[in-house]
Amino acid sequence: MQVAGKVVVVTGGGNGIGRAMCEAFHRAGAARVVVADIDPAAARAVATPIGGAAFKCDVGKEKDVLHVIEETEHQFGPIELFCSNAASIRCRSMPAERPTNRGHEAGPFTSWRTFMPHGI
């Protein structure tokens, strides 16, 4: 997959894996990297040096996710790649109240997926 010239959104982009993806997508020539994070300062700290955009977004709140999608497409055009990085992982064999990660809230996305373009 090629991200050059494309609009990319990364949830949980303010730190860790999400941050690494934001920076990798920028290096790969993405037209705009949108950093969506529950921590707005972290989102800005990642977005600013890569010429990206920062949004405060709690993926546990559907309205926040819709806001990111709508504002991104309004400002930058169609989203080509949406990385649902911030999310909860729940295992069917475990009680629902025991998330398997570090306590990220359950949200509309109950699994996480990352998409890595070739060559990154």
Ligand X SMILES: NC(=O)c1ccc[n+]([C@@H]2O[C@H](COP(=O)([O-])OP(=O)(O)OC[C@H]3O[C@@H](n4cnc5c(N)ncnc54)[C@H](O)[C@@H]3O)[C@@H](O)[C@H]2O)c1
Q: Which residues bind ligand X (CB under 6 A)?
A: 11-12, 14-18, 37-39, 42, 57-60, 85-87, 89, 101, 104-105, 112
Distance of alpha carbon 32 from alpha carbon 16, whole angstroms: 19
Find the shortest distance in angstroms from Cβ 65 to ligand X. 9
For residue 52, the surrounding DSSP H or E stretch is: none
User: Of 7 and 12, which has the nearer Cβ to ligand X?
Assistant: 12
For residue 83, the surrounding DSSP H or E stretch is: strand 79-83
Find the shortest distance in angstroms from Cβ 42 to ligand X. 5
User: Of 28 and 43, which has the nearer Cβ to ligand X?
Assistant: 43
User: Of 34 and 57, which has the nearer Cβ to ligand X?
Assistant: 57
Distance of alpha carbon 117 from alpha carbon 120, whole angstroms: 6
Find the shortest distance in angstroms from Cβ 21 to ligand X. 9
Distance of alpha carbon 109 from alpha carbon 6, whole angstroms: 23
